[in-house]
Every structure is written in structure tokens, then in C-alpha cells.
Amino acid sequence: MSARTVEPRSVIEREPKRAAKTKGKKIASGHLRGRSADKPNRRHLLRGAVATLGAAMLTGCDKISENPGFANVLKSAESLSHSAHRVVAGRRAMAQEFTEADIAPKFKGNGTLVPMDADYRAMMQNGFADWKLQIGGLVEKPLAFSLAELRAMPSRTQITRHDCVEGWSAIGKWKGVPLAHLLEQAKPLASAKFVVFRCADSMDEASTATLDTRYYESVDLDDAYHAQTVLAYELNDKPLPVTNGAPLRARIERQLGYKQAKYLMRIELVESFDKIRGGNGGYWEDEGYDWYAGI
């Protein structure tokens, strides 16, 4: 295979669940603003059930959509997709890895290319010398690591394909510290169920003490401890560029691009998302997109 941008593994467009909230925004591989876009359809298992509704669905769709029971069926599709993916692929299944010859000549920067936030700009100006990754929440031992300290830890290098919900894909070589290594040091409490990634970039407008619009994402502990889940500080044998998320970004290789949080500032272990922003586990998830974006 020659170096190139490649077709996505699994991207099927559909209407957003909450079009009114996503109007004027751009959904894609990470932290995005701009035009609206459809999200991937991973609810094929519901198609048979929906088909049986037949003419009733066509003539009474408004009433059906207002039915709480029907709405609950649609909401259950995400957990169904999550469970099905775990059964078919297995919790430890690996995303495909490639060779050096397959690496795209340029890995596209997408969405936020340079965060507008003053604190990030200041860190960027001094080469992230004062930046530290904070790890806290439901852990026995809260921690903080500089970029130099992360680079000195055991690392993993992998050449994988990044699949964006917008419909493009690219192969890149990532090097970083396995998230599992950091969690082993922080020692999550028994009540911890999810890892939340807090990012530096405000999305809709500059964040303030009373308004937080910074990007955030999350995964469960299965994905957090997965062998290919790394916090990357290098792309294609060079320090991670700002346009791709410097100084550190998440690589969750078995999920779509919007789960790959860039500009990482803090990792938080939580039991649920109830008290975090919209309660759905991520910036775009709060706008109606699926929390689980497995591919």
C-alpha cells in the first residue's frame, strides 16, 4: 500500500438526533466548529423492528416519535450497539495496524486547529514547559505529570487508521504512554467506571469561571485499559503538532475520531456523567451524538 488518505472503515451518514442544537456546528474528528454534519448510523440491529411498523410508521410517525416507549427503544440502541460490539469483537480485540509504507504524507488537522484560550496560548508559547497532565477524581493517588515525565515512561508506538465521522480517514504513526500505565499508578477506586478527558479548547465561546465550553470526552474502563489506548505525544516520529492536539491527545483506536480528545489537560475518574455538563459523557454527546462510537 502506498502512503495515502484512505476510505473509512465504517461511516454511514444519518440525520442528527437533535438537529436544533447541532445547527451551525461541525461534527467530525475531534474538537469541531462550523457547518452541521450527519452522524454515523450504528443501529442496524433496530432496522428489522422498525420495518415491521410498515404503513403505521408512515402514517403516524409523529405520534410514534412522541410515544415514550418508542423513544426508550431508540435510546437503548446505543447500549445495544455497545454490547454487540463487545460480543462480536471482544474486549481485547485490536484495531488493525499498518506499516510505515501506509502512513499518509500529511495527517489532516481538523476542527480546532489552535485553541483560542489564553491559558493554552501561554503554554504553547513556552513550548508547554509549564504544562502538566492532572489525574484525579475517584483515585487513591491523584497525580500530575509533565511532558518530560510522560516521555520517560514506558511507551507504545502504533500505526493505525483514524476514521472521522465526516467520511475521511488517514493512517498515522502514534507514540505515547499507555493510559493503563497511568491508571495503575493512580489506582482507581472500586466505584470508578469511566475515564473523562478534559481538554484545553473552548468550543462555542471562551470559557469563564461560570461557563465551561471546553471540549471533553470519556470512555469506559474496558477501553481505558485497552492495549492500544495511548496518550500520544508524537505523530509520525515528530512531536505532536498543535493542529493535531499538542501537547497530548488520546488515541482510542477502536472508536471514531470525535472520541480522540485533543489538547489534554486533565483526566478524571468518575462513577457516572450525571453531574458533568449535559450528563452524556462528551461535548458532542451532549448535542445528541452517540456516546459509544465503536468501529
The reported pLDDT for the residue numbered 205 is: 76
* The residue type at 71: A
- What values do phi and psi take at 252, rounded to 5? -110, 85
* Residues in Cβ contact with 35 at an 8 Å cutoff, skipping those fewer than 6 apart: 24, 25, 26
Any idea how long the chain is?
A: 295
Alpha-carbon gap, residue 269 to 251, rounded angstroms: 17
Per-residue tens of pLDDT for the chain, all 295 residues: 444 444 444 333 223 334 334 444 544 445 664 334 444 444 333 333 333 333 333 333 333 334 454 344 434 444 445 555 555 556 678 999 999 999 999 999 988 999 999 999 999 999 999 999 999 999 999 999 999 999 999 999 999 999 998 889 999 999 999 999 999 999 999 999 999 999 999 998 777 777 889 999 999 999 999 999 999 999 999 999 999 999 999 999 999 999 999 999 999 999 999 999 999 999 999 999 899 988 7
Q: Are strands 249-251 and 214-220 parallel, antiparallel or unpaired?
A: unpaired
All structural domains of the chain:
1-295 (3.90.420.10)
Task: Identify the pLDDT of residue 22.
Answer: 47
What is the model's pTM?
0.75
Residues with Cβ < 8 Å from 273, sequence gap 6 or more?
A: 194, 196, 218, 279, 280, 281
Q: What is the DSSP letter of 259?
A: G
